Amino acid sequence: MEKHAGVFLKFRKGKYILRIMRTDPACGKKVETTRRLGVFENAEAAWKEVERRGFLVLTKRAPLIKDLASAYTRNYGCTLSLSSQQLLAYNLQHILRRWGNYEITQIKKTDLLAWVQYLRQIFATSTTDKIRGTMAAIFHWAQDFDLVPSDFHDPFLIFRKGKRQPGFRRSRLRKLTITPKQAFAIAEGLNGMERCMVWLCVATGMRQSELLGLRWNEVDFQNECVYIVGSWCRGEYKMTKTEASEAVLPLKGKVLDVMKEWHRQTPYSSAMDWCFPSLKLRGKKPRNGQMIVADYLRPAAIRAGVALATGQKFGWHTFRRSLATYLTRLGCDIKSVQGMMRHSRIATTMEEYAQHLPSGLVEAQNRFLAEVTTGHLRVTPVEVIVSDRSQVPPQQ
């Protein structure tokens, strides 16, 4: 059934399927795109879902970036967590301010490079990359709907990983990790609430939002564990970042003693009170995590001997990254490290969090050279295997 030009609804096996027929401007051929809508009471309800999700903008010959951004948000944004939805909305503000009235095919590499250079003068590199990444996601989403001509070159290829960008200087600062000795010095250099927060972050790798959103009823002193069920982000209590983030983490040894000590000291120790409340707000809200970093963590790190270069970040995530690095360094099971980090994909743990250490490289090389020089390393030459034809069955 057709209600709009080039847009059809097809009913198949109890579900409605959306069919969009367009003409590719590059070759003049008809191109069909299908999307599954789901089960609805009738066709009218299915058409309302089509309009709600913004699919009708895809019927235009050359939709504008603002139309694509709206449709992208309705279809993809609803699958994100609340904090990611807010980040998406923030990124779209800067994108639409510059590209809102442009067609997708009007984006040129030179204009894109100049825009990104302008953003890097205002924002940090990480913020700029997130805004650019959102723009690229909208472009590639439009490609899925055949809204981009087949002969149109992808302008975002100039930002692919490993390619040198003209006029850009990559940051030479590596992701910072600290040693267990430095982590101990930072934690013991603080008092009260800040000391407890650092010890908990060092031992469990909790995110800042999870630390701030922790309540006392989620800390089980008897079973020596903590339940991660929510987070405090942008002034609101929300769900965890992902489903994998909801987990039970152990509390053993020193960190358990520090938590018990803080529980006795805090004036807000009832079951539904925040573990790390704002005393100024009389416990109604948690502390501000970034203010603790600026006022306590960074000075304590400098006192502990952590070498911070100009512009190098240091915060709660440094403890999380360091935990993943040293658990891997100690030879812990990779799945256990992923479980402690609570990542959905093990590639995130190993590629983004676990860092290689110079001492680890030296030790690996020394162990290899020791095996080579002592003759204990057994290596079977490939030539021996190839030359021994007696063990190879004859070909038929």
91-126, pLDDT tens digit by residue?
999 999 888 888 877 888 888 888 888 888 888 877
Does 277 share its domain with 210? yes
pLDDT of residue 71: 81
Distance (Å, whole) CA 344 – CA 244: 6
Closest CA to 175 of 284, 313, 46, 287: 313
Q: For the domain that residue 214 is a member of, what is the CATH number?
A: 1.10.443.10
242: Cα separation from own chain's centroid? 10
Task: Please name which of 18, 20, 14 lies closest in space to residue 41, comparing C-alpha atoms.
Answer: 14
| Percent of the chain surpassing pLDDT 70 | 71
How many Å is the Cα radius of gyration of the chain?
A: 28
11 & 128 share domain: no
Region 10-35: mean pLDDT is 59
- Count: domains in the chain: 3
Is 110 in the same domain as 131? yes
pLDDT in tens, 116-155: 888 888 888 778 888 988 888 888 887 776 667 666 677 7
Domain match, 218 and 270 both: yes
Domain co-membership, 309 together with 274: yes
User: In degrees to the nearest 10, what's the CA dihedral of 176, 182, 188, 192?
Assistant: 10
On whether both 315 and 298 belong to a single domain, the answer is yes
| Residue 22 to residue 9: CA distance in whole angstroms | 15
Q: Please compute the mean of the pLDDT values over residues 348-358 and round it to a whole number.
A: 79
DSSP state string for 48-98? HHHHHTTGGGGGSSS-BHHHHHHHHHHHHGGGS-HHHHHHHHHHHHHHHHH
Backbone angles phi, psi at 65, to 5 degrees: -60, -40
User: Does one domain contain both 37 and 110?
Assistant: no
Identify which of 38-47, 58-67, 334-343 has the greatest average pLDDT.
334-343
If asked whether residues 38 and 110 sit together in one domain, one would say no
For CA atoms 329, 333, 335, 339, the dihedral sign is negative
Domain endpoint, select from 129, 151, 171: 171
Could you tell me if residue 51 is inside a domain? Answer: no
Q: Provide the CATH number for the domain around residue 147.
A: 1.10.150.130
Residues 6+ apart with CB under 8 A from 54: 67, 70, 71, 74, 75
* Burial class for 61, CB neighbours closer than 10 Å (0-12, 13-18, 19+): exposed
Q: Please identify, among 353, 370, 385, the residue that sits at the C-terminal boundary of a domain.
A: 353
* Average pLDDT, rounded, for the chain: 78
pTM, to two decimals: 0.63
d(CA 379, CA 153): 49
Position 77 scores a pLDDT of: 77
How far is residue 200's CA from residue 212's CA, in Å, rounded to a whole number?
11
CA distance 17 to 15: 7
Provide the CA 380 distance to its chain's centre, in angstroms: 43
The strand ranges marked E within 29-164 are 30-38
Whether residue 120 lies inside any domain: the answer is yes
Q: Are residues 105 and 242 in the same domain?
A: no
Residue 376 to residue 273: CA distance in whole angstroms: 60
Which domain-ending residue is among 171, 195, 226?
Answer: 171
Residues 19, 2 share a domain: yes
Give 274's pLDDT tier (boundaries 50, 70, 90).
very high
Q: What confidence tier does 34 reach under pLDDT thresholds 50, 70, 90? A: low
Euclidean distance between CA atoms 44 and 42, whole angstroms: 6
Which pair of tokens denotes residue 179? 């040693």
State residue 276's pLDDT score: 95
Q: Three-state SS for 276? A: coil
**What is the pLDDT, as a whole number, of residue 167?**
46
Closest Cα to residue 250, out of 276, 222, 225, 221?
225
Cross-strand pairs, 36: 17
Q: Name the 3-class secondary structure at 256.
A: helix
Residue 69 φ/ψ, nearest 5 degrees: -65, -40
Q: Which domain holds residue 1?
A: 1-44
Residue 383 pLDDT exceeds 80: no
Asked, for residue 244, whether it belongs to a domain, the answer is yes
**What CA–CA distance (Å, rounded) separates 214 from 194?**
14
Nearest by Cα to 49 from 73, 21, 75? 75
* pLDDT at 83 (0 to 100): 74
b/e per residue 104-135 (b: at least 16 CB within 10 A): beebeeeebbebbeebbeeeeeebbebbbebb
Residues 167 and 185 in one domain: no
Q: How far apart are CA 206 and CA 197, in angstroms?
A: 10
Are 167 and 214 in the same domain?
no
Is the residue at 162 inside a domain?
yes
Task: Check the CA dihedral 320-174-128-106 and report its sign.
Answer: negative
State which H helix or E strand residue 250 sits in: strand 247-250
